[in-house]
Amino acid sequence: MGDHETARETETADVLVVGSGIAGCAAALGAARNGAQVLVITKAERPDGASTDWAQGGITTTRGDPESLERDILAASDGTADPDAVEVLVEDADEAVEDVLVDTLEVGFDSVGEGATDVGDGGDDDDDAATADADFDYAREAAHSEPRILHVDASTGTHILRPFLNYLDAHDRVEIREDTAALELLTHEGRVHGVLSDEAPRGHPIYAGTTILATGGIGALYTRSTNPENATGDGIAMAALAGAAVDDMEYVQFHPTAYAGEARRPSKRSGEATEAGEPFLLSEALRGEGALLRNADGERFMPDYHEDAELAPRDVVARAVASERDATGEVVLDVSPLEFEAEFPDLAATCRDRGIDGEEIPVAPCEHFLCGGVDVDEYGRTSLDRLYAVGECSRTGVHGANRLASTSLLEGLVWGLRAGEHAVTTGAAPEVVEAPELRNSDPELPERFATEKAIRLKRTMDECLGLERDLDEVARAGGVLRRLKGEVDAYVRTRTARDLYELRNASVTALLIARAASENPESKGCHYVVGGGSGETEPPKTGPADD
């Protein structure tokens, strides 16, 4: 890869992948297997800079019953998932998991004994079984009708991503470039030709036959999130600014059981507030194995909210936890019904490191996953020519208004492979077009500019676009976010700095969420409307075009 101009260094690749989580890795693998020279650029400097590395529960399979998994996905989505997209997912699921994770990467999924099995049949007889030494220990999580989730303790993402990156590092048709951010898409007449990266003060042009966005989620838009701190919605914002269609942006999923590390009013039982600390996820697999949710009075409350109790869909459990925290002061996850230390040693160690003793862990809802994103088809193609999007930054239609547990890794794997393979079949070659030159001419930013703007953005999202939404408050948020974006844009025009571009991307993505929420008065899944919409406050006319 590499190609030079006298005035400005440029670079070419057959396929350019932006992001290094499971979706980006799968896209790179799919393209490289089919003969493409692939460049992967990623902001991350370590594997834990990607959301995949933070994934706990596991990756779902069908266990030979795709119809059952399809029913569960549709039910969890409150009937809003795209049936055609769900069919693609379940049809490709077992083959993708077995081919890439079991056969190629040899991920050591937890097992329960000896004997032949494969991903598709859960242990019936199959002479070609990929895992001939052990039966998988399939877990069950919320809204799944049966155990079908492969896992490695409660650190599955780490055990998938790190060997994936190592495998690609050794591949002679793949280059992975860390600590490299994409700042802008290079476009000409509705076609995407690559990106400008931050490797040069004026921006470094990278031209590609096909560009695949795999930039992850939006957790940095909220104060509490299970995402890495660099999850600023980059791919969504860049694609939207270039004119790509986005959809389902109002559906922001909150996980019901993240460690409640922030100080709060005393509980009725102990009279003490929990010590401050960063949130971390307490996998849904804990509730799948029997952990219970209790309020500050020691009462188990989920049976009062849903017939499936702790295994109800995530949006239901998250709102119930928030309600009980408001009413009683605290909610804890009681792990006494299971062998916590033995069954979940990684999580148990994390709890010990945080000074959490005993069998009751304080929990609260926490931003977790965006169900919408850049609108794509069954191959990950966006509305812009030669631009694909995969993983959390994309909207495949699989999740609808609410994601079923342990489907995100599978979606990233399946659509990543499909996008990478399809990108090669198009035969698109890199075309060098005129690239804008970014400016970096003005004095330094005012002290704490980016920090203070990020705090304002997070506060607005927390207050107006969280678990429950009042449409009048959503309208107010649109105005605040639009003004904030304008303030950030004024500096982005004359300064090339990653944190500024991340703040711009976060503000664009936040505006897209606010606009989608303002236009949808119906409660569905993650988008839960509690009031407003009186007409007294005009809904915000927000979006990437509002400069």
Q: What angle do CA 438, 444, 445 make, to 5 degrees?
A: 95
SS3 6: coil
How far apart are alpha carbons 159 and 108 in whole angstroms?
A: 8
Sign of CA dihedral 469, 475, 479, 482: positive
Closest CA to 253 of 318, 174, 158: 318
The token duo for 458 is 């997070």
Closest CA to 431 of 211, 173, 181: 211
Pair 289, 316: CB distance under 8 Å? no
How far apart are alpha carbons 466 and 199 in whole angstroms?
A: 36
Closest CA to 112 of 133, 93, 94: 133
Pair 357, 180: CB distance under 8 Å? no
Q: Please report, for residues 90, 150, 311, 377, 411, the alpha-carbon distance to residue 398 in angstroms, rounded to integers and kept in the order given.
A: 10, 19, 20, 11, 8
Sign of CA dihedral 13, 19, 21, 24: negative
Pair 430, 42: CB distance under 8 Å? no
The count of residues in the chain is 547
Closest CA to 142 of 369, 300, 302: 302
How far apart are alpha carbons 15 and 419 in whole angstroms?
A: 10
Buried b (16+ CB within 10 A) or exposed e, 128-150: ebbbeebbbbbbbbbbbeeebbb
The token duo for 177 is 């470039």
Which residues are known to be catalytic? 314
How far apart are alpha carbons 25 and 9 in whole angstroms?
A: 27
How far apart are alpha carbons 503 and 230 in whole angstroms?
A: 10
